[in-house]
Structure 1
Amino acid sequence: MTDDTRHSSAAAPPDGTAPPPGVAAPFTALLIAVLSFSLMQTMVVPALPDLQREFDAGTTGISWVISSFLLTASVATALLGRVGDMFGKRRVLLASLTVFAAGTLLCAVSDSLGLLIAARAVQGVGSAAFPLAFGIVREQFPRERVPVAIGMISSTFGIGFGVGLVLPGPIVEALNWHWIFWLGLIVIVAGILAVAAFVEESPDRSPGRIDWIGAVLLSGAIVALLLAISQGKSWGWGSAGVVSLCAAAVVLGAAFVAAERRIREPMIDIDLLRRPAVATSHVAALIIGFGMYGAFTLVPLLAQTPTRAGYGFGASVTEAGLFMVPMAATMLFASPLAGRLGAAIGWKAPLVLACLTGLLGFAVYAAGHDSEWAMYTGSGVLGIGVGFAFAALANLVVSAVDPRQVGEATGINTIMRTIGGSLGAQISASIVASGTVAGTALPAESGYTTAFVMSAAALGVAALAALAGPGSLRPRRAAG
């Protein structure tokens, strides 16, 4: 390929620890861009109680601060990944980051809940940073550097997610919730400037026209499904609204598949999704998301539970966020390590290892959540699993498709992980809220134990799904 040839002169260091000089600047720019989005996913979560008090909102109303972001992020991931393949990934990345920055600015100046919810919906457009960044790496980086680079970019998703739960505590305590968005805006602007300065536009294109019919049908299916998931707890999982939304998601999804098979230039190549490696990664992403995302919300909540409940540590928002630090720290080295391991032996083994490591982390949570050291240990172990999973999933998809289809394929993989994560987080929260400590409104300890065991079981199923996929667990033999 043209880009591989163009960069082949950038020789890799023998130890594989750093990108070549010609790649370091654009790689750093992409890291800043994706970090800005991953931080904004969760930085608002610790501030929800403050927002609820300030706007005098109910639980359902305040939940839309999260739901609106999630809905537009899922739609943007699918649509803009494909648009980037068609019109240039750098151009579309800059456009999505600019809209993301505008939404963040609007969040920072919001003085009503309605405006904040609308601004969060605008912010969701920044989700396209991930599939577009993967595509840029695949097209423009030396081939031997692609797995590690994708692993590190993938880990940024989890790192930003975890750090986003730690930073808001001291920010809100020292200033106010508006500063969460002002500081986030600084990172976004830095990402825009870095991408504009150091990332080149790729000559690779997947020509065609925007499939508006497919975009509407897929967006409708995703919105209906995620809306049902996000509102299941407050509306009731068996309520007419949730059941109707799930039915609409199925109908719209079926209509989307039927339409894409008839359109000459579809938004998503359905045959692409049927490739064994791609299909395996999507199924695994769904189950891994379901299993792993519960930790991001349950661990801080458990840590904040007053000790009078008979468990918990009575931690402040800031102290509770510290329980996530080991996870972010281990992800820093786990994802690049997974990239090197996968490049050497294939991606099946790192994905299976990711699931089993995550299972172990949740087992530690379930068995030892009455001690702080066990919670820190569980977070560190789980971080290794998350880092391996994100790197393996992204590289499985990227290595299985044509460079012109990277945005399209990785966008769907991100959506699958988001859907699984949303479902897992909501079900975990429902399990925890299903019982209370006698004489209080505090959740019973058994709810956390059950939720952690459920996540461990889900990752066991994900390991089986990964094992069923193509490839071997054995290292590839060197030629000749």
Structure 2
Amino acid sequence: MTHTSTDQPESGASRALVPVLAFAGIVVAVMQTLLVPVIKDLPQLLDTEPSNATWVLTSTLLSGAVATPIMGRLGDLYGKRRMLILSLAVMVVGALVSALTSDLLTMIAGRTLQGFAMGAIPLGIGLMRDMLPREKLGSAMALMSSSIGVGGGLALPAAALVAQHADWHALFYGAAGLGALAIALTLLVVPESPMRAKGSFDILGAIGLSAGLVLFLLPITKGSDWGWTSGTTLGLFGASAAVLLLWGVMELRLPAPLVDLRTTARPAVLFTNLASIMVGVSFYVVSLVLPQLLQLPTATGYGLGQSMVVAGLLVAPLGLTMMFTAPVYARLSAKYGPKVTLILGLLIIAIGYGAGLGLMSAPWQSLVIAVVLGAGIGLAYSSLPALIVGAVPASETGAANGLNTLMRSIGTSVSSAVIGMVLADTANNVNGVAIPTMHGFRVSFLIATGAVAIGLLMALFLPRNRPADKPQLRASSEEDANLERAEEALRGFRGRVLDAAGTPVARAKVTLIDPRGRQAGATLSDEDGTYALAVPAQGAYVLAARATGYAPLASSATHSGAEAAIDLDLSMPGEPVSR
């Protein structure tokens, strides 16, 4: 007899699921940070202006921001594993396009395709939620969420080593190889989730979000070239505001929108997402500034004269410290709640950037900054999924976490565009080569400090955490941290879908409808007819079942807090038969 995801024993495949999905997250991080070691050389390598070269980084972050909700929605509709493989395949194609060109526009096109890999993060979290036993879910989601930082930390020295000793295009061949390996491992280890959402894909929503973000980021990167008060700059900002406003109005009217904006109305979700944008900004600033400062020649008077590889190794602790803060986060969050850990993380980031303003004169100081910022960003990033999961019903966690990932991506995109613009504007021109200045680095750190201060303000507005109802939660167990609500949500209805002769009906669609008439969950029955649905809260529901060749069934069912076993008879619509 097959089991459902919430209760299945941990098989070998189940044990391999988390590392494989986390590896996909690391591949995403590698793709994001791939060009950081050569960022100062990009204008010469691509024979273009510094403000144009910035788009080689920004385009990836921007397409990632758009791809996150698109791939998440397509995954809900057509299968998360299928869309995970598609995301990685598009990234591999993009990496190969970039590997074969030194033309700016072709490079940007390739980098834009690579950004689609960002969809792997919410898809991976969704697969974990659908497949893993509930006691493993907390640590698995934390690992997936922090894989971006871990992968980024590991990628910097590795990318620097390749760029220093080989043609820089080899970086893209390496990224394509990692993407292909992630696809192969996913095909071998990760099963497809049977969970499917109802509705259709919101194509207009995808176009509207893409257009609005491009219209917003383009004038940020080119404003200094065009003039901040020029008609072009102001016109694009105005067009961006108009497009995003119309997009928001349209999304609110659709029954199955690309981004569920209603979810953001809850204070806990709204302020978490606003804080997420600021964490995204602060995460990317250090990745852009420190490698350049470390690699600039000492002849500039402020450059630290390190090789690409040494610079990469000195910045690597940024990601590695994020990995080591995960167990610390679990203990702190279990005791004080995710709001406190988010505030603590933001305070540590503020200290890191504040100290960084005066610690730019020796390589070891960069190492200290990277460690402090890694610890703060690790705590902040780990808090975000827990805050979201605790603020929405179980049926909305997918959409809400997808939106949160989008907010983080927008933060990194804005960070890339703004810091790229600041460094290009403040650069000195030496023999036709733009050299970043210490003034530019300090302004960048001040921007990051300001973003963290805003994020801290948003975090303070988060609703106070309710005390735990279950004192038996063990603070020392990472799996137990912040899973109280998630565990309750995973209790629900289970049973079998049968026909008139009592024969199991496989692949029947079973939908849970809440008292307000909204879909609260959906699943497909297994080969032996079994199904299981998580219930977000106690109360009266409707269980609807349908399968090809049978009359549809709609039955009332009441959830009292304990798991209820209910068989659904497709031959005779009416009340369910309790076992």
Q: d(CA) in 2 for partners of 1:88 and 1:346?
A: 33
Matched, 1:291 2:292: no
Cα gap change, 1:113 to 1:219, in 2 (>3 Å): closer
Give the aligned partner of residue 135 of structure 1.
126
SS in 2 for 1:110: coil
Matched, 1:164 2:158: no
Give the aligned partner of residue 564 of structure 2.
none
Give the aligned partner of residue 369 of structure 1.
360
Cα gap change, 1:214 to 1:431, in 2 (>3 Å): closer
Give the aligned partner of residue 576 of structure 2.
none
Q: d(CA) in 2 for partners of 1:318 and 1:29?
A: 28
Q: What is the CA distance between 1:39 and its match in structure 2?
A: 0.5
**Residue from 240, 243, 246 that aligns with 1:252:** 243
Any residues of structure 2 matched to 1:153-232 within 5 Å, and which? Answer: 153-232=144-223
Matched, 1:71 2:62: yes
Bigger CA drift: 43-52 or 70-79?
A: 43-52
Bigger CA drift: 37-46 or 447-456?
A: 447-456
Q: d(CA) in 2 for partners of 1:124 and 1:256?
A: 22
AA at the equivalent of 2:451? A
AA at the equivalent of 2:455? A
Q: d(CA) in 1 for partners of 2:422 and 2:211?
A: 28
Bigger CA drift: 404-413 or 383-392?
A: 404-413
Give the aligned partner of residue 16 of structure 1.
none
The answer to whether the Cα contact below 8 Å between 2:321 and 2:375 also exists between their aligned partners in 1 is yes
Q: d(CA) in 1 for partners of 2:435 and 2:88?
A: 40
The answer to whether the Cα contact below 8 Å between 1:82 and 1:405 also exists between their aligned partners in 2 is no
Bigger CA drift: 286-295 or 226-235?
A: 226-235
Q: What is the CA distance between 1:317 and its match in structure 2?
A: 2.3
Give the aligned partner of residue 357 of structure 1.
348
Q: Deviations over 1:229-274 (max 9, x none)?
A: 3334444443333322221221111112211222222222222121
Q: What is the CA distance between 1:351 and its match in structure 2?
A: 0.9
Q: What is the CA distance between 1:29 and its match in structure 2?
A: 0.9
Any residues of structure 2 matched to 1:29-44 within 5 Å, and which? Answer: 29-44=20-35
AA at the equivalent of 2:126? G
Query: RCO greater where, 1 or 2, for CA within 8 Å and sep 6 or more?
Result: 1
AA at the equivalent of 2:130? E
Q: d(CA) in 2 for partners of 1:50 and 1:260?
A: 42
Cα gap change, 1:236 to 1:306, in 2 (>3 Å): farther
The answer to whether the Cα contact below 8 Å between 2:341 and 2:380 also exists between their aligned partners in 1 is yes
Structure with more helix by fraction: 1
Structure with more strand by fraction: 2
**Residue from 435, 460, 465 that aligns with 2:453:** 460
SS in 1 for 2:316: helix
SS in 1 for 2:357: helix
The answer to whether the Cα contact below 8 Å between 2:211 and 2:240 also exists between their aligned partners in 1 is yes
The answer to whether the Cα contact below 8 Å between 2:51 and 2:424 also exists between their aligned partners in 1 is no
Bigger CA drift: 107-116 or 81-90?
A: 107-116
Bigger CA drift: 34-43 or 269-278?
A: 269-278
The answer to whether the Cα contact below 8 Å between 1:85 and 1:408 also exists between their aligned partners in 2 is no
Q: d(CA) in 2 for partners of 1:473 and 1:297?
A: 39
AA at the equivalent of 2:257? P
Q: What is the CA distance between 1:406 and its match in structure 2?
A: 4.0
Q: d(CA) in 1 for partners of 2:226 and 2:177?
A: 37
Structure 1: any 5+ residue segments left out of the alignment? 11-19
The answer to whether the Cα contact below 8 Å between 1:357 and 1:384 also exists between their aligned partners in 2 is yes
Give the aligned partner of residue 338 of structure 1.
329
Q: Deviations over 1:148-175 (max 9, x none)?
A: 2222112211222333333222212222
Cα gap change, 1:378 to 1:35, in 2 (>3 Å): same
Cα gap change, 1:166 to 1:25, in 2 (>3 Å): same
Bigger CA drift: 157-166 or 91-100?
A: 157-166
The answer to whether the Cα contact below 8 Å between 2:95 and 2:175 also exists between their aligned partners in 1 is yes
The answer to whether the Cα contact below 8 Å between 1:346 and 1:475 also exists between their aligned partners in 2 is no
Give the aligned partner of residue 386 of structure 1.
377
Q: What is the CA distance between 1:429 and its match in structure 2?
A: 4.6
Report how many residues are paired: 469
**Residue from 41, 45, 49 that aligns with 2:36:** 45
SS in 1 for 2:97: helix
Cα gap change, 1:398 to 1:108, in 2 (>3 Å): farther
The answer to whether the Cα contact below 8 Å between 1:304 and 1:320 also exists between their aligned partners in 2 is yes
Q: d(CA) in 2 for partners of 1:419 and 1:242?
A: 20
Q: What is the CA distance between 1:380 and its match in structure 2?
A: 0.3
Matched, 1:323 2:314: yes
Bigger CA drift: 447-456 or 461-470?
A: 447-456
Q: Deviations over 1:355-376 (max 9, x none)?
A: 0111111122112222332221
Matched, 1:261 2:262: no
Q: What is the CA distance between 1:52 and its match in structure 2?
A: 4.0
AA at the equivalent of 1:335? A
SS in 1 for 2:344: helix
The answer to whether the Cα contact below 8 Å between 1:347 and 1:396 also exists between their aligned partners in 2 is yes
Matched, 1:276 2:277: no
Give the aligned partner of residue 15 of structure 1.
none
SS in 2 for 1:367: coil
Structure 2: any 5+ residue segments left out of the alignment? 474-579
Cα gap change, 1:443 to 1:47, in 2 (>3 Å): closer
Give the aligned partner of residue 17 of structure 1.
none
Q: d(CA) in 1 for partners of 2:114 and 2:144?
A: 20
